[in-house]
Amino acid sequence: MLFGVNKPKYLTEDEIVRYANKKKLGTANLYFVKDTIAENEIYKNVLQAYDSLGKSFSFAFPDALVFDPKGINIAYAQNDSVCNGALFGFLQNLYPGYKAGIESNYTFSDFNKLIKPYNNEHKLSENSYKLVILWAVWTGRANKTHLPQWELLAAQNKKLTIEVIKLNMDFKNKRFVQ
């Protein structure tokens, strides 16, 4: 089940980039899913990760995955709530060596194989936390209120480095022509 769907339509990557620029979301750390197979794999793995992390078995965009420097997917909410509100406090309070009470077997290495940067020059560090924001144009206002705030909170956490990846999950018009 997808919550927050508001008249989704097929978009091209160029249309998504124009939207991101228009809404001042930035494109330096914008990522796309590599292809249809990768898209299906992401949905399957994220839903399984949500299940193992104790979250309800559904998507609610925007949302995020957090990976520690070893690539382990850690829960930002320690209960079964699908509400992304817990992420605001989590990003402020995350510290080196944080041990989640709940982890999933879905690693950043697995995830990274399925995505591609919009800007091919964007490189990720090996020794940092990763905040992967899952967002879509069709979620509308939540993009403007959540994405910039989560990025800011990640940057303001001086205890550690949190790299932000904004992964667009819109339905692509051209089914991943390479």
Q: Quick check: pTM over 0.95?
A: no
Amino acid at 62: P
pLDDT above 70 for 51:
no
- What local confidence, expressed as pLDDT, does residue 177 receive? 45
Side chain identity at 176, as an amino acid letter?
A: F
Give 140's DSSP letter: T
Nearest C-alpha neighbor of 166 from the set 115, 121, 120, 125: 115
Assess whether pLDDT exceeds 50 at residue 176.
no
The answer to whether residue 22 scores a pLDDT higher than 70 is: yes
d(CA 52, CA 72): 13
Buried b (16+ CB within 10 A) or exposed e, 45-63: bbeebbeebebeeebbbbb
> How far is 154 from 58, CA to CA, in rounded Å?
25
Say whether 172 sits in a helix, a strand or coil: strand
Residues 117-141: tens digit of each pLDDT: 998 877 888 889 999 999 989 888 8
- Residue with the bigger pLDDT between 177 and 71: it is 71
